[in-house]
């Protein structure tokens, strides 16, 4: 369509400047500057060369690459001798960083008017790490210029775009030129092994596009973000819907929803759970509670949503398209799409494959929990629901894991898996389906492939009493064994003691450390013998580890010779079906003679044979219970355990010894017993109805939020608001987690009224901001971080030392000011540069080594994690934990 003379125009050059490659390990770009080796606050010399150990001669210079018109850019470095590098470094050698740069020109209308509207710039980056837009050659950046780095949609999950703040205003008379820089990071998990395509040269394959949008004071419907469920015989297979809305401009609050009178008369009602606030440019999925007293057979549900920005009201008309299906039959192998409310805040889908026969009540059989691989969209890729054979009397539950990549089935992804099980049990409580139901606390059989296979190892070893059996296929043991970190730039500079503290945040994800917990769980481990994605040795080694803990463990290994990473018969074969049939129909209670329970984070772990570790003496180190039983006498040896509980009904004991201290077991006491270690030894203690479980050990624990995130920013702080908008989008894109952005004046009022959301609290500020000063005072308690007033103004202080350097900042967990069940995450920078550095460390992805607290400075831009000036894990009651801390 020809452009109007009154429209703005945009041109993104197809010629890109390329600098690289530089060695890097996965996720290291969150510590290094994304523009490494350049400092974009200084002029860029496109004739210079830069050291790189990958290149012959030891230096690399700028080259060029051409993008396709629609935005696809493929970057490779064929002059690098990749095969030689791989001879010693393996897969790790092909992971690398490059910096990409193109020109972006925005031109005003050819016929300007006095009422010319300045457009917004939206940029989409897929399969790149970060991007920024900086002034072009005709606009030298000011000396204090700080680039704003936006996260790329690195996993290519749908279509998302960032609303970009332009570093210099658009001219209404002449074209304005900017440079766009992209951090291009080749990761094997994303792009695979180039040898699978018949080449030695890795090819970075990214997509970059930009377009203009005219700001309007409106809320608009985003149909692609709607969350709906199937209707079975006219009844919704779930009690919550989600409606995607986006603010094109301005702050809005959605206050109510209305159905047509005809639907209300038919016994249908829909309600907004609570008012929903939108920041400028923000997309949120609004949760609508659905109630019906009679079947609904229409194809469309028309809704009106009502909002306001204080001065102006808005009505958003929405039509939800309904998919109907008949009740499942024995010959019908199509899964049902269900919906539920994740973490009391986010409408979420999952798939459920019905059994062939009714199995409710006493005849109910445990469900199968099926975990998909990385990049698998179970709602759009039918192969996953076809991968698991339909069962005679067991449901097959297929959670999304939040997104197609999720959090590797840890954290929020694990919570979503368990939430889907409980949600299906609740849905089947409806009278029409009650005879197909199973108990809400039902144990499960877990199957999974690839990342889902790794997830099966994870859930089985963290929650052994909830897992009857497991079938992990093609799963890796842990991320740093899958793709080693040996090409780390940081490792050449970092104090080994600091590196140990940082990498302690990997410990909870290292499945090999927790395989002691599955020795009494029947496991059938599977791997294709010619898997070029996840090497076969991962499963072989996992089986070997289990056998080391218990030589006669009920674990078998099935290797399908010649098969690749994925093949349709991985679960659809006689051996797997026989294994599933045996474990699903085995009603025997599990027993034990001896076992070792290993735990890293008590809040992310359950019980084994009734024993559960609740608190560690030193968070950050492993805790272990070594349990043995002879007849009715149980002996427990503890390592780094402060508190644990025992469910007598499961543990089956008459006499208990803990580290040689004897405890009598009285039959008239409660089933759940708690034991606490004091200076004078172990003591039994009363178990409260809601006892506290240790949560901390790394920043990523904040993702397991008990509600929508609350992000607090200053009332007047453009940079802080921009960071909040970016983080809210990242939470949505990477995890489908919801966030509300609050000005600090509103947050202070809610704090005074004890009305802050119980979800994770995120505070982005400079030291002088009021909400931060209020929370980080001696009177409020908490951690070793405080805000103090001095001759140079307010400053962040850590253990008596003020943090005053330019570009410096701290990111740390802190007690939530109003909720004992949640935590707060503070990002406090000395200036905008410090805030930007902290924002890149927000724990959006797995594998970023960020423990409970971290202080970072400018040096990180060039030496990565070696630029960390302090890091550690909090001790009991948020105390400073000297054993697992490092401070420069």
Closest to 309 measured CA to CA, from 264, 339, 279, 285: 279
**Res. 42 pLDDT band, cuts 50 70 90:** confident
Looking at domain 699-887, its CATH superfamily turns out to be: Chitobiase/beta-hexosaminidase domain 2-like (3.30.379.10)
Average confidence (pLDDT) over 485-514? 96
Per-residue DSSP letters for 501-551? HHHGGGGGG-GGGGGGGGTTS-EEEEEETT-SSS-THHHHHHHHHHHHH-T
Confidence of residue 697 (pLDDT cuts 50, 70, 90): confident
Please determine, for residue 652, whether its predicted confidence score (pLDDT) is greater than 60.
yes
**What is the pLDDT, as a whole number, of residue 692?**
66
* pLDDT at residue 114 is higher than 70: no
What pLDDT does 178 receive? 96
| 452, pLDDT greater than 60 | yes
- In CATH terms, the fold of domain 216-326 is Immunoglobulin-like (2.60.40)
Is the pLDDT reported for residue 340 higher than 80? yes
Per domain, the residue ranges of the chain are 9-213, 216-326, 470-584, 602-685, 699-887
- Parallel, antiparallel, or unpaired for β 120-126 and 203-213? antiparallel
Q: Read off the pLDDT of each residue in 16-27 and give the average, rounded to a whole number.
A: 96
Residue 511 pLDDT exceeds 90 = yes
Which of 3.60.21.10, 3.40.50.1820, 1.10.3720.10, 3.30.420.130 is the CATH number of 470-584?
Answer: 3.40.50.1820
Kindly state the average pLDDT of the residues 218-228: 94
CB 827 within 8 A of CB 727: no
Q: For 195-214, write each residue's pLDDT tens digit.
A: 999 999 999 999 999 999 99
**Model confidence at 132: pLDDT above 70:** yes
- Predicted confidence (pLDDT) at residue 885 exceeds the cutoff of 90: yes
pLDDT (average), residues 873-878: 91
Confirm if 411 and 383 have CB atoms less than 8 A apart. Answer: no
Inter-residue contact 629 to 653 (CB < 8 Å)? yes
Residue 696 has pLDDT above 80, yes or no: no
Element (H, E) at 495: none
**Mean pLDDT of all residues in the chain?**
93
Residue 842 is classified by DSSP as: S
d(CA 166, CA 44): 19
What's the CA gap between 416 and 366, in Å, rounded?
A: 18
Judge whether residue 781 has pLDDT over 80.
no
Q: What is the pLDDT of residue 1?
A: 40
- pLDDT tens sequence across 831-848: 999 999 999 999 999 999
Report the pLDDT averaged over residues 601-622: 95
Structure-derived torsion over alpha carbons of residues 332, 335, 336, 340, reported in degrees to the nearest 10: 160
Is 653's pLDDT higher than 90? no
Q: Is the pLDDT of residue 116 over 90?
A: no
% of the chain at pLDDT higher than 70? 97
Q: Do 216-326 and 699-887 fold alike per CATH?
A: no
pLDDT reported for residue 29: 93
What share of the chain in percent tops pLDDT 90? 83
Q: How confident is the model at residue 672 (pLDDT cuts 50, 70, 90)?
A: confident
* pLDDT higher than threshold 60 for residue 690: no
Stretch among 294-303, 593-602, 606-615, 661-670 having the lowest mean pLDDT:
661-670
Q: Residue 871 and residue 850: Cα distance in Å, rounded?
A: 8
- Judge whether 388 and 571 are in contact, CB under 8 Å: yes
Q: How confident is the model at residue 2 (pLDDT cuts 50, 70, 90)?
A: very low
Given a cut of 90, whether residue 665 has pLDDT beyond it is no
Q: Looking at residues 577-582, what average pLDDT do you find? A: 96
What would the pLDDT profile of 399-427 be if each residue is shown by its tens digit?
Answer: 999 999 999 999 999 999 999 999 999 99
Say which residues have a Cβ less than 8 Å from residue 115's Cβ, sequence separation at least 6. none
Name the most confidently modeled range: 347-361, 497-511, 585-599, 679-693. 497-511
Digit-coded pLDDT (tens) for 362-382? 678 999 999 999 999 999 999
Output the pTM of the full model: 0.96
Per-residue pLDDT band at 667 (split at 50, 70, 90) = low
- pLDDT score for 858: 97
């Amino acid at each position: 369509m020809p452009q109007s003379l009154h429209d703005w125009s945009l041109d993104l050059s197809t010629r890109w400047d390329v600098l690289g490659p530089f060695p890097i390990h996965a996720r290291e770009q969150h510590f290094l500057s994304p523009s490494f080796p350049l400092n974009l606050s200084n002029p860029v010399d496109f004739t210079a060369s830069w050291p790189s150990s990958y290149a012959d001669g030891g230096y690399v210079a700028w080259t060029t690459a051409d993008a396709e018109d629609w935005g696809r850019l493929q970057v490779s470095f064929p002059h690098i001798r990749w095969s030689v590098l791989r001879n010693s470094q393996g897969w790790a050698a092909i992971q690398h960083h490059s910096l990409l740069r193109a020109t972006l020109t925005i031109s005003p209308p050819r016929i300007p008017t006095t009422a010319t509207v300045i457009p917004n710039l939206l940029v989409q980056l897929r399969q790149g790490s970060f991007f920024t837009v900086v002034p072009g050659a005709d606009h030298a950046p000011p000396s204090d210029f700080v680039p704003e780095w936006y996260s790329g949609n690195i996993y290519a999950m749908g279509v998302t775009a960032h609303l970009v703040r332009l570093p210099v205003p658009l001219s209404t008379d002449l074209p304005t030129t900017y440079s766009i820089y992209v951090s291009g990071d080749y990761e094997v998990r994303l792009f695979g092994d180039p040898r699978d395509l018949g080449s030695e040269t890795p090819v970075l394959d990214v997509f970059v596009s930009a377009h203009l949008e005219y700001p309007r004071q409106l809320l608009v419907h985003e149909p692609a973000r709607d969350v709906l469920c199937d209707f079975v015989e006219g009844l919704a297979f779930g009690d919550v819907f989600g409606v995607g809305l986006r603010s094109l401009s301005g702050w809005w609050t959605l206050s109510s929803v209305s159905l047509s009178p005809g639907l209300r008369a038919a016994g249908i009602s829909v309600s907004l759970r609570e008012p929903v606030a939108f920041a400028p440019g923000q997309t949120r999925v609004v949760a609508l509670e659905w109630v019906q007293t009679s079947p609904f057979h229409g194809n469309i549900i028309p809704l009106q949503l009502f909002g306001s920005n204080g001065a102006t009201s808005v009505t958003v008309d929405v039509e939800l398209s309904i998919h109907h299906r008949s009740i499942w039959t024995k010959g019908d192998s199509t899964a049902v799409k269900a919906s539920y409310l994740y973490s009391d805040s986010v409408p979420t889908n999952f798939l459920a494959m019905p059994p062939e026969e009714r199995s409710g009540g006493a005849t109910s059989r445990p469900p199968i929990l099926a975990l998909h691989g990385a990049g698998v969209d179970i709602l759009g890729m039918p192969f996953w629901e076809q991968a698991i054979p339909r069962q005679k009397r067991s449901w097959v539950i297929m959670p999304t894991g939040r997104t197609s990549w999720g959090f590797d089935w840890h954290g929020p992804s694990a919570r979503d898996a368990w939430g889907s099980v409980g949600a299906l049990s609740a849905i089947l409580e409806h009278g029409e389906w009650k005879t197909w139901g199973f108990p809400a606390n039902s144990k499960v059989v877990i199957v999974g492939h690839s990342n889902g296979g790794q997830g099966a190892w994870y859930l089985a070893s963290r929650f052994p009493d909830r897992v009857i059996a497991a079938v992990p296929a093609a799963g890796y043991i842990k991320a740093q064994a899958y793709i080693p970190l040996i090409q780390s730039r940081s490792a050449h500079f970092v104090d080994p003691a600091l590196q140990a503290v940082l990498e302690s945040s990997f410990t909870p994800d290292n499945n090999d450390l927790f395989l002691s917990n599955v020795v009494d769980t029947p496991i059938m481990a599977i791997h294709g013998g010619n898997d070029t994605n996840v090497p076969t040795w991962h499963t072989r080694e996992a089986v070997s580890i289990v056998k080391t803990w218990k030589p006669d463990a009920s674990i078998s290994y099935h290797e399908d010779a010649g098969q690749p990473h994925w093949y349709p018969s991985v679960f659809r074969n006689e051996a797997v079906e026989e294994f599933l049939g045996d474990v699903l129909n085995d009603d025997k209670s599990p027993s034990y003679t001896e076992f070792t329970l290993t735990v890293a984070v008590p809040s992310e772990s359950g019980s084994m044979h009734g024993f559960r570790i609740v608190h560690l003496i030193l968070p950050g180190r492993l805790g272990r219970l070594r349990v043995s039983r002879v007849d009715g006498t149980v002996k427990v040896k503890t390592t780094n355990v402060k508190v644990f509980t025992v469910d007598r009904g499961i543990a089956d004991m008459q006499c208990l010894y803990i580290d040689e201290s004897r405890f009598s077991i009285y039959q008239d006491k409660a089933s759940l017993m708690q034991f606490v270690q004091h200076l004078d030894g172990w003591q039994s203690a009363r178990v409260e109805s809601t006892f506290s479980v240790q949560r901390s050990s790394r920043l990523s624990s904040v993702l397991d939020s008990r509600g929508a995130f609350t992000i607090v920013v200053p009332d007047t702080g453009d940079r802080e608001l921009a960071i909040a908008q970016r983080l809210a989008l990242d939470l949505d894109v990477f995890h489908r987690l919801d966030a509300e952005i609050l000005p600090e004046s509103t947050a202070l009022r809610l704090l005074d009224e004890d009305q802050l959301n119980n979800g994770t609290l995120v505070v982005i500020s400079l030291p002088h901001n009021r909400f931060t000063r209020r929370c980080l005072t001696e009177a409020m308690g908490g951690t070793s971080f405080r805000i103090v007033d001095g001759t140079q103004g307010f400053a962040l202080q850590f253990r008596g030392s003020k943090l005053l350097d330019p570009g410096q900042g701290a990111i740390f967990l802190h007690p939530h000011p109003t909720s004992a069940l949640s935590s707060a995450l503070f990002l406090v920078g000395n200036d905008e540069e410090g805030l930007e550095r902290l924002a890149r460390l927000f724990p959006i992805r797995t594998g970023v080594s960020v423990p409970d607290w971290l202080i970072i400075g400018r040096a990180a831009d060039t030496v990565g994690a070696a630029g960390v000036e302090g890091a550690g894990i909090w001790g009991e009651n948020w105390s400073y934990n000297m054993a697992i801390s490092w401070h420069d």
